[in-house]
Amino acid sequence: MDALRHNFSLVKQRLAAGVRLCCVIKANAYGHGAAFLSRFYETMGADFLAVSNIEEALQVRREGVTLPVLILGYTPPACAPAIIAADLSQCVYSLPYAEALSSAALAAKGRVRAHFKLDTGMGRLGFVCREETPLPAGLSTAATLAGLLPEGIFTHLARADEGEAGKAYTLRQLSLFKTAVSAMRRAGFSFPYCHAANSAAILAYPNEALGGLLTMARAGIVLYGLKPDPAMAFSSLAPALTFKTVVDFVKELRPGDALSYGSTFVADRPMRVATLPVGYADGLFRALSSSGYAVTVGGRRAPLVGRVCMDQCLADVTDLPPLALGEEVVLYGGAGESAEATATKAGTIAYELVSALSSRVPRVYREGGRILAVSDALLASKG
């Protein structure tokens, strides 16, 4: 929690005066635990929260959080009554979707708070922006629908994390977005929340991405102390998460003994190998098998050997002092290998690595050296 406070403050310092902060807690707060962190960000003074879908949004409301919550992805129009009842904001990205959502809202005798998404170059969802058409087709019509309450307008940047290689593309996206917002304002529409800056833009484009028309920024992975791209020249972040397990068995191997599925590892010397009760069902990717990845025990590296299984993996502890049952093992973060380095060995990115931490992994929240809370999703479930 100390790291999260540091990163939150760092992000706030990089925002221009008056720009509000939206904390993104989708995918279980990037694996860190959305239930606990939604309450934390509210106490820290966040202005908005963002999630991927309505289930994530309703989880926030069940926690008693009253901050505005934006659903960034698709919600079935039939869920309009639930959106209204929970006082949520919904991404609206096309005229057909706007019409369906508006109709469902009117049938429920209410209005849905809408953030209109513009596609300036990400190519996923959004009213398409082009240089030759300052006002995207269908946008103004969607904003007049009786079942929608225009609250925000936004876009998403595709290459803000690429440094100079992505600068021209990013500035073009921002230009298209500002042109469309200006056209909407000239047409008589105004939006309290105007946002384009993601984590990468907050770090790399503080002036272009946060000035002018923009009134809010969306911070995601940066809040958790991880860079949007490992190559980004920004060293002030504090990674918040350490993924740990314990030693549950140590065995002696003779030359020729094989390990795990497929017998892909065969000892070529006398060895000691520790079994760890963690596997790919917990979020330790199978791709880390034979990748050069090592866990950390007592500050010393122990290479993974054999294939990572669903619930267990194996580490070479031959060169380590004798290990006790239950001895702590760092998989990544903290005193271990960084999440970014681990992700690289798995052939992926830190976003995927931490977001893949499964619900059966308890989250322990610490601050100032003491435990604040423990979240165990399996034991908390009521079925």
pLDDT at position 383, please?
A: 39
The CA-based diameter of the chain, rounded to the nearest angstrom, is 79
Class of domain 243-380: mainly beta
**Annotated catalytic residue within 12, 178, 244, 261:** 261
Helix (H, G, I), strand (E, B) or coil at 13: helix
Can you name the CATH fold of 2-224? TIM Barrel (3.20.20)
pLDDT at position 212, please?
A: 72
pLDDT at position 230, please?
A: 85
* 119 burial type by CB count under 10 A (0-12 exposed, 13-18 middle, 19+ buried): buried
- DSSP for 244-265? EEE--EEEEE-TT-EESGGG-E
**Tokens representing 231?**
């190559």
**Tokens representing 271?**
């060895």
Active site residue 26: yes
List per-residue pLDDT tens for the chain, 383 residues long.
999 999 999 999 999 888 999 999 999 999 999 999 999 999 999 999 999 999 999 999 999 999 999 999 999 999 999 999 999 999 999 999 999 999 999 999 999 999 999 999 999 999 999 999 899 999 999 999 999 999 999 999 999 999 999 999 999 999 999 999 999 999 999 999 999 999 999 999 866 555 578 999 999 999 999 999 888 877 799 999 999 999 999 999 999 999 999 999 999 999 999 999 999 999 999 999 999 999 999 999 999 999 999 999 999 999 999 999 999 999 999 999 999 999 999 999 999 999 999 999 999 999 998 999 999 999 985 43
Where along the chain do the CATH 2.40.37.10 domains lie?
Answer: 243-380
The pLDDT tens digits for 115-168 are: 999 999 999 999 999 999 899 999 999 999 999 999 999 999 999 999 999 999
Give the residue among 83, 189, 107 at the shortest CA–CA distance from 141: 189
**Annotated catalytic residue within 26, 178, 244, 345:** 26
Where along the chain do the CATH 3.20.20.10 domains lie?
Answer: 2-224
What does pTM read for this prediction? 0.95
| Residue 76 contacts residue 100 (beta carbons within 8 Å) | no
